Amino acid sequence: MLELHDPVVALMRSVGRDIVMPRYQNLASDEISEKATNDFVTIADKESETRLAEGLSALLPEAGIIGEEACAADPAILDRAGEGLNWIIDPIDGTGNFAAGKSPFGIIIALVDGGTTLAGWILDPLTGRLCHAMLGGGSHVDGSQVQARETGGALPIAALATFFMSAEERADMVRRSEASFMLVDIPRCAAEQYPRLVLGQNDVSVFARTLPWDHAAGTLFVNEAGGCCQRTDGTPYVVGDLRRGLMGASSARLWDKAAATLFG
């Protein structure tokens, strides 16, 4: 696994430099489209995924490729996400932000085997920050190992991804949380939200949708850093399981507190 790290990082940085950033704040209207309501795709997403898929296939030919945009075109591809060895690609996470010409956004890559995430990489092309984790190998930011830390505020800080919840679910979540947590806006970008849980900026985050390109790398990153990220029922996150509901926290203590408050 270690031998893959440098080539994967080099590939991601080249795609960020040569494909993603030249399009940032430089997209024509016909280069942005909606796959579904408020679910955008740009020419940069498509070109990034093509380049990443080609490069990752060359690095590990025996692994399959499961990319967000390929799955949008052929949903059946997602059915094999938990089967065998696969690269999981989010060519631009936070496309809505990217298309609007604002941050945050990122490139996310995960390598999974039979539903277990072996390694994950999260690149912010705007700042150059690279977060990565390997199963059993800890979590790192820009090459330095990190340990998840709580914010230490009077109330734990919670960022709740309620966009894909029903109005009733959203109202219940806010009602349950407002006395026990300080609520902050979520950035609509898993590539930013997962690092916030590790780097002392947020304490808890709840996600309704659990698509692998959004969560495989980030879940590993939080857990390897000593935080806690799992299903809201306390079971592990497994790639290929598309059930709703996932919660991450900067510590097991806060995960337990949030679970009792929000889902108890």
pLDDT in tens, 1-24: 778 999 999 999 999 999 999 999
Residue type, 185: D
pTM value is 0.95
161 pLDDT exceeds 90?
no
The predicted structure's pLDDT at residue 170: 82
36 pLDDT exceeds 80?
no
The predicted structure's pLDDT at residue 222: 98
177 pLDDT exceeds 90?
no
Place of tokens 């029922």: 233
> How would you write 10-62 as a 3-class SS string?
HHHHHHHHHHHHHHCCCCCHHHEEEEECCEEEEHHHHHHHHHHHHHHHHHCCC
